[in-house]
Chain A
C-alpha cells in the first residue's frame, strides 16, 4: 500500500498473555520506528531500525518487550506477559532517509484487562 500499515488496529488481551503487533512500512523506507502513546500523553520512543545496522533498543521499557525487522520490510513488536500499564497505542513510522520526515501508521490500540 501507499502508507504505513499496522495490524491489528485494536487488540484486547488478558493480563499475562503475549501479544504481537505488526508494522508494514512504506516500500523502500530504510528506517522504521516504534513509539508508544499512552492516553493523553506524548510519544515514547521504543526502538529504531535502520537498514542492516544494529537496532537502537534504548527505549524498550523492559525485557518483556522485543522487536524484529526482516531486512527493510515488516517489523513485529512483541510484548510478553502483558501488564495493565502496557495499555496504549503503539505507533509505527518509517522514513526514507533519516532523520527525515516520518510517516506514521494509524497505530495499534492495545488494551490489557
Chain B
C-alpha cells in the first residue's frame, strides 16, 4: 500500500534561516507529489505539486521542492523563512494505477523563532 513518511514531527528555525522539510514515499509506480500547508485556523492550501518533467518545482510563498526518484523523496525547501511561515506542512502522494487516492503524511509542525 502506498504510504508517505514525514520523519520530522516538529521543526524550529530562526526567521531568515533556510528550511528543509523531508518527505519520503513508498510504492512502485509513478508518483504525483504534493505539499500542502495548514495555517492555524485556516484550511489546507496547496504549495506546489510535481507530476512530471523538471524535478525541481517552484511553488507559492517562495517554496520549492525537489523530486528524487532514487531516494523516493520530495523534500520541501525555502531559502529564508518568514515568521508567517509557521504552520503545519503536509506531504501527499498519489500514484498512477492507484485510483487517484491522495495519501497524506502525518505532517511537520514548523515553528519560527524571531
Q: Which residues of B contact A (CB under 8 A)?
A: 32, 34, 36, 43-44, 46, 49, 90, 92, 94, 99-107
A98 to B106, CA, bound (A): 22
A101 to B43, CA, bound (A): 14
A–B complex contacts, Cβ < 8 Å, 25 sampled: A31-B100, A42-B90, A42-B105, A43-B90, A44-B104, A45-B102, A45-B103, A48-B99, A48-B100, A50-B100, A56-B99, A56-B101, A98-B94, A98-B100, A99-B32, A99-B94, A99-B100, A100-B49, A101-B34, A101-B46, A102-B34, A102-B44, A102-B46, A104-B43, A107-B43
Near B by CB (< 8 A), chain A positions 18-70 give 31, 33, 35, 41-45, 48, 50, 56, 58
A44 to B105, CA, bound (A): 9
Residues of A within 8 A of B36 (CB): 102
Per-position contact with B for A70-113: 1 when CB-CB < 8 Å, else 0?
A: 00000000000000000000010100001111101111000000
**Smallest CB gap from B9: residue in A:** A40
* CB <8 Å contact, A105 and B43: yes
A58 to B102, CA, bound (A): 12
**Smallest CB gap from B96: residue in A:** A99
Residues of A within 8 A of B106 (CB): 41-42
**Smallest CB gap from B105: residue in A:** A42
Residues of A within 8 A of B100 (CB): 31, 48, 50, 98-99
Residues of B within 8 A of A56 (CB): 99, 101
